[in-house]
A and B are shown apart, each in its own frame.
Chain A
Amino acid sequence: MAQTNTETTKPQFDIFNFLYKYGTIILIFVLIIVFASANPAFLQTNNIISILRSISIVTIIAIGITISLSVGGFDLSVGSVASLANAIVISMFVWYGQPTLIALVAAFTAALLVGLFNAFMIVKVKIPDLLLTLAVMFIIQGVALTYTRGATISQNMIMSDGSYATGQISPIFAKLGQVPYIIIIMLVAVVVVHIFLTYTKHGRYMYVIGGNEEAARLSGIPVNKYKVVAYLMSAFFAALGGIVLASRVMTAEINAGGPYLMDAVAAAFIGFAVLGAGKPNAFGTFIGAVLIGILANGLVMMSVPYYAMDIVKGTVLALALAVTYYKLK
């Protein structure tokens, strides 16, 4: 009695559905048109590259958040982890005169330890992810501050004993934060994670866990293992973001990664709706970051005073989120 429904009706055009799927992309085009007509320089190759460069770090960090969201979690600690990685990698060069490889390994190791701690507390101790990573955000912020003794680390800085730091940042490392490498790193991260989440078994498992954890468990999926992996990946990308940041500014300012958190969270959430995915996804996150980047850049070009910028930025974000979440039942 295979009586599947054949009585299908023609899909009718639904404005809300359309906006849900393409709203973010349309908004991006509208912004481009507005900014370009206000200032033609907006569309120059230089400026476009500069936008892409400016969103690289946000995107990389947001990719980490996207992965934690895909298993139904949330990682707020990424900003601090980026700060920590930034501090460690610069200090390895400047304070300890280590080669690039050691500096990178040290930064990633520290970040992964944080990820492991997050995963343990969430999976085993069962603290809700939002609360735990909020706590860890403060802890790691403090750890990074303590590690740098509350100071900015930079080449030739004055050490506490009055001498000058002698270590130099390796020239290869300094390349990472420059065009085109910084943009390439971002694009590779987006593409790799997108493929991982959409086309592999592991990505499928993560979405299944995010969709219904109990159903996933009873389907025989090793839920805890994948959650651990998700938080490790999240920490990894946060560290990558912090390292690229380090290379770009060549210093480690206090809490340097902190300001990226909110933009990254916004990018990941805006990304839910892009092309109607309806769930966290790497491509959408990238589009979300592009939206934020264009906005920031365009506002600067239109000489909106810096103190008013957050108002406009927040408003447009709210608008983007509105088209995302205003779906017909």
Chain B
Amino acid sequence: MTLTMTDITIEFPGVKALDRACFNTRPGIAHALIGANGAGKSTLMKVLSGAYTHYTGRITINGNEVTIRSPKDARNLGIQIVYQEVDTALIPYLTVAENIMLNEFVANTDKKTLVDWKTIHTKAKDILRDLNVQLSSRTLVSDLTLAEKQMVLIARAVSTDCSYLILDEPTAPLSFSETEQLFRVVNDLKKKQVGVVFISHRLPELFDICEQITVMRNGEFVIQEAIPDTSIARVVEQMLGEPLEEQFPSRTSTPKDVRLQVEHLADGDKVKDVTLNVRAGEIIGIAGLVGAGKTELCKLLFGATSKKSGRVAIDGKEITLKTPSDAVRRRIAFVPEERRKEGVLVEESVVTNLTAASVNNFLKVFSFLDFKKERSKAGEMINALGIKTPTADTLVQNLSGGNQQKVAIGKWLVSDADIYIFDEPTKGVDVGAKKDIFDLVSALAEKGKSVIYASCELAEVKGISDRIYVLYDGQITKELSASSTNEEELLYLSTGGK
């Protein structure tokens, strides 16, 4: 009763994404798959779920060799996948039930033309109940949160015969309680003898939920171990090829004058009352759980949404930001959270993406572009962030998820601003790259820039910031100095504790 993938090799123009990679798992357990950004995790799982036809290697189930060259092949073998980007797999204007039963609609085995709505809803409800998910089958998918959308996809996966379920970075966008719910579902599935493959860059959670772990590096298999036999430090060393040094760089510079002053800011919706200030050369953390209003606050500060009340001042002068281009003119930079939707241009090259926010710095006469200068700057950024790409001209859609994130961040590091706003900058990036990002953020402060660092990774907020504001339900509930607090206290405050 096992699944094995042996010597899987696949090439894309300019890259060998998988090089004789191997993977073994069995039903009834959760199997962690880990590796740095671009190591080939998603690609390996796409092979398993039939997304590619041009790979070589062997796949067997229970000892029998199987052919998987299309998603249908995979589904017939009971292999289901929930991709990194949940939105692409859902139809927003259909109900939860219709989305869950989509495969059945399409397969429509008894060739009926009329849809039997009652059965559809009953079946969908049964599946949701089995999964222990509280969700009305008649809600429109467009009204769901990310976590709920994921549940719909999982429900769809298990709606048909499912013996293996692949979850590609399912927890990246989830809050603590949503993650707990997901884990409960995963544990239930394990009991039902489903084999779960779990990809994530959050190591601790892998150690919570999984029994086995497989490490990949540069498209190759490194090692497979039982979770109890290994440790986080060991796994990190295996995936990076070297032990990780101290994550957070130390800084010598001291904060100077107040640069950005925000008083009683509100947007009439999620952001209710925010008062904060940032000095030159200072990193402030905005600690808050998913849903606390961090993203809304960041967008408000960047002029992407408009404020209802309150005042914002830069260097003592009150300002109004109507659009993001106003903000850029005031030398504010913003790395949004939803990188694929808001941060990168997937059909453009890495170079074009990296310079998109600072085209003005790459001009010759009469707004003609200086391609040479652009390329050399992009090259620098690719090295500084360790962006894994065959060439600087590769389209961003061909990069791995984490490398796309790095491009989105790199775009703003290329531009020269005074105030940098980061919204969940480490989401989806591997531990090694996280360190690169921390180094770059702290170098910004070292150069006298002001940094606002919003994240739900409380340990990271504490590690990188000088001062921390806790955001709860759209309000700043506490201001702390980073050196005098700890993760537990931050968690307590972020969940509404006083």
Chain A residues with CB under 8 Å of chain B are 1-5, 7-9, 11-12, 14, 199-202, 204-205, 207-208, 211-212, 214-222, 278-279
A4-B389, A5-B388, A219-B411 are known contacts. Are A212 and B363 too (CB-CB below 8 A)? no
CA distance A2 to B389 in the complex (A): 12
B259 contacts chain A at the CB level, 8 A cutoff: no
Q: Let me know if B384 and A2 touch, CB within 8 A.
A: yes
Q: Let me know if A218 and B336 touch, CB within 8 A.
A: yes
Q: Let me know if B348 and A9 touch, CB within 8 A.
A: no
CA distance A211 to B356 in the complex (A): 11
Supply 28 A–B pairs (Cβ within 8 Å), ascending by A. Answer: A1-B435, A2-B386, A3-B36, A4-B382, A4-B386, A5-B388, A7-B219, A9-B15, A9-B16, A200-B366, A201-B360, A204-B359, A207-B348, A207-B352, A208-B352, A212-B341, A212-B345, A212-B346, A215-B343, A215-B345, A216-B345, A217-B304, A217-B324, A219-B324, A220-B324, A220-B327, A220-B328, A279-B347
Partner among A202, A214, A218 whose Cβ is within 8 Å of the Cβ of B367 = A202
Task: Return chain B residues, CB-CB under 8 Å to A7.
Answer: 15-16, 19, 218-219
* Minimal beta-carbon separation of A150 from chain B (angstroms): 43
Task: Return chain A residues, CB-CB under 8 Å to B433.
Answer: 1
CA distance A125 to B347 in the complex (A): 28
Task: Return chain A residues, CB-CB under 8 Å to B363.
Answer: 201
CA distance A278 to B341 in the complex (A): 20
Task: Return chain B residues, CB-CB under 8 Å to A221.
Answer: 325, 356
Q: Let me know if A5 and B436 touch, CB within 8 A.
A: no
B91 contacts chain A at the CB level, 8 A cutoff: no
B344 contacts chain A at the CB level, 8 A cutoff: yes
Partner among A200, A215, A278 whose Cβ is within 8 Å of the Cβ of B344 = A215
CA distance A220 to B334 in the complex (A): 9
B246 contacts chain A at the CB level, 8 A cutoff: no
Task: Return chain A residues, CB-CB under 8 Å to B389.
Answer: 4-5
Considering the complex, which residues of chain B in the window 346-384 have a beta carbon less than 8 Å from any beta carbon of chain A?
A: 346-348, 352, 356-357, 359-360, 363, 366-369, 382-384
CA distance A308 to B343 in the complex (A): 50
Task: Return chain B residues, CB-CB under 8 Å to A217.
Answer: 304, 323-324
Q: Let me know if B345 and A208 touch, CB within 8 A.
A: yes
Most chain B CB within 10 A, of A201, A212, A215, A218, is at A218
A4-B387, A9-B11, A211-B347 are known contacts. Are A200 and B38 too (CB-CB below 8 A)? no
* Minimal beta-carbon separation of B80 from chain A (angstroms): 20
A3-B388, A218-B334, A220-B328 are known contacts. Are A199 and B369 too (CB-CB below 8 A)? yes
Task: Return chain B residues, CB-CB under 8 Å to A208.
Answer: 345, 348, 352, 356
The 5 closest A-B pairs by CB, nearest first: A220-B328, A211-B345, A201-B367, A219-B357, A2-B383
Task: Return chain B residues, CB-CB under 8 Å to A278.
Answer: 347
CA distance A1 to B382 in the complex (A): 11
* Minimal beta-carbon separation of A312 from chain B (angstroms): 33
Total cross-chain contacts (CB, 8 A)? 109
Q: Let me know if B435 and A211 touch, CB within 8 A.
A: no
B13 contacts chain A at the CB level, 8 A cutoff: yes
* Minimal beta-carbon separation of B438 from chain A (angstroms): 12
CA distance A202 to B347 in the complex (A): 18
Task: Return chain B residues, CB-CB under 8 Å to A8.
Answer: 14-15, 390
B342 contacts chain A at the CB level, 8 A cutoff: yes
* Minimal beta-carbon separation of B498 from chain A (angstroms): 35
Given contacts A11-B13, A207-B348, 17 further A-B contacts (CB under 8 A): A3-B388, A4-B388, A4-B389, A7-B15, A7-B219, A9-B16, A12-B13, A199-B368, A204-B352, A208-B348, A211-B347, A215-B343, A218-B343, A220-B325, A220-B329, A222-B323, A222-B325
Q: Let me know if A204 and B383 touch, CB within 8 A.
A: no
Task: Return chain A residues, CB-CB under 8 Å to B328.
Answer: 219-220
CA distance A207 to B323 in the complex (A): 20
CA distance A156 to B423 in the complex (A): 70
* Minimal beta-carbon separation of A320 from chain B (angstroms): 21
* Minimal beta-carbon separation of A185 from chain B (angstroms): 23
CA distance A318 to B328 in the complex (A): 45
Task: Return chain B residues, CB-CB under 8 Å to A3.
Answer: 36, 386, 388
Q: Let me know if B323 and A216 touch, CB within 8 A.
A: no
Which partner residue on chain A sits nearest B242 by CB separation?
A1
Q: Let me know if B348 and A211 touch, CB within 8 A.
A: yes
* Minimal beta-carbon separation of A170 from chain B (angstroms): 34
Which partner residue on chain B sits nearest A200 by CB separation?
B367
CA distance A61 to B328 in the complex (A): 36
A208-B345, A222-B325 are known contacts. Are A201 and B369 too (CB-CB below 8 A)? yes
A1-B435, A212-B345 are known contacts. Are A9 and B359 too (CB-CB below 8 A)? no
Most chain A CB within 10 A, of B14, B19, B240, B327, is at B14
CA distance A22 to B11 in the complex (A): 24
CA distance A4 to B347 in the complex (A): 21
Task: Return chain A residues, CB-CB under 8 Å to B352.
Answer: 204, 207-208
Which partner residue on chain B sits nearest A222 by CB separation?
B325
Which partner residue on chain A sits nearest B439 by CB separation?
A1
Most chain A CB within 10 A, of B36, B357, B360, B366, is at B357
1/0 per residue, CB under 8 A from A, across B299-311: the answer is 0001010000000
A200-B366, A211-B348, A218-B336 are known contacts. Are A11 and B325 too (CB-CB below 8 A)? no
Task: Return chain A residues, CB-CB under 8 Å to B35.
Answer: none
Considering the complex, which residues of chain B in the window 3-30 have a beta carbon less than 8 Å from any beta carbon of chain A?
A: 11, 13-16, 19
* Minimal beta-carbon separation of B334 from chain A (angstroms): 6
CA distance A181 to B456 in the complex (A): 65
B288 contacts chain A at the CB level, 8 A cutoff: no
1/0 per residue, CB under 8 A from A, across B303-337: the answer is 01000000000000000000111011100001010
* Minimal beta-carbon separation of B73 from chain A (angstroms): 16
Q: Let me know if A1 and B344 touch, CB within 8 A.
A: no
Most chain B CB within 10 A, of A3, A11, A12, A205, is at A3
Which partner residue on chain A sits nearest B14 by CB separation?
A8
Q: Let me know if A204 and B14 touch, CB within 8 A.
A: no
1/0 per residue, CB under 8 A from A, across B269-281: the answer is 0000000000000
B432 contacts chain A at the CB level, 8 A cutoff: yes
CA distance A151 to B414 in the complex (A): 60
Task: Return chain A residues, CB-CB under 8 Å to B382.
Answer: 4
Task: Return chain B residues, CB-CB under 8 Å to A12.
Answer: 13
Task: Return chain A residues, CB-CB under 8 Å to B360.
Answer: 201
Q: Let me know if B368 and A4 touch, CB within 8 A.
A: no
Task: Return chain B residues, CB-CB under 8 Å to A215.
Answer: 341-345, 356
* Minimal beta-carbon separation of B444 from chain A (angstroms): 18
CA distance A232 to B325 in the complex (A): 22
Task: Return chain B residues, CB-CB under 8 Å to A9.
Answer: 11, 14-16
* Minimal beta-carbon separation of A6 from chain B (angstroms): 9
